[in-house]
Amino acid sequence: MSAKPLHTSLSSLHAFISEKITLTEKEWLFVAERFETVSIKANMLLLREGQVCGHLYFVNKGLMRFFITTSDGKDTTKFFTPEHQLFTSQQSFSTQTPARENIEALEDAELLAVSHAALQHIYNDVPKWHTLIRRVLQEVNGMTERIYMDSITITAEERYRRLLQNEPEIALRAPLKHIASYLGVTPESLSRIRKKLSQA
């Protein structure tokens, strides 16, 4: 993983922010100057369980996976984060305490990152940033609730159908074993589901 001064296009981040709040040019420049680019290779961990998450990230390119590891060494995928989304280990970043999850790059990824300390300056100098984060957290909490409810109310096949409908790029890009883990089934069961749907 490598970090370097920001030089890449910020257009995607600017578009993401502009969908939720309106910043003046001065406010936008203040925000943009506090981000840096981070490149990470496929299959590398951006965050390991037990580490403190020091950054809030935006995905410029790539696909990220959040997962937890059980006592027997198996991992369970919580969710995926594709391009043009903000993400972090929410509890670890907010409280600056050790993370209970891992974050992995499933593809070579280019991220924009702002440190916890720099973000405090944004909060102080760009008050509208509070509104942005509140709206992002509402979306994340809604997604988390939906994932949980789906896991206990509908079948794995129905959950996979929803994945195909709502997030088709994840179904195409994430390895089958991780999609299976996300759906709570074995890779063999997911293979049967995919075969059934392809023949329908």
Q: Which domains does the chain have, with CATH numbers?
A: 2-131 (2.60.120.10)
Interacting residues of 130 by C-beta distance below 8 A, sequence separation 6+: 123
State mean pLDDT over 142-148: 86
pLDDT of residue 170: 93
Confidence of residue 129 (pLDDT cuts 50, 70, 90): very high
**Residue 9, exposed/middle/buried by CB under 10 A (0-12, 13-18, 19+)?**
exposed
In the DSSP assignment, the letter for residue 114 is E
pLDDT of residue 5: 43
pLDDT of residue 6: 46
Quick check: 151 pLDDT over 50? yes
Kindly report the pTM of this predicted structure. 0.89
Confidence of residue 1 (pLDDT cuts 50, 70, 90): low
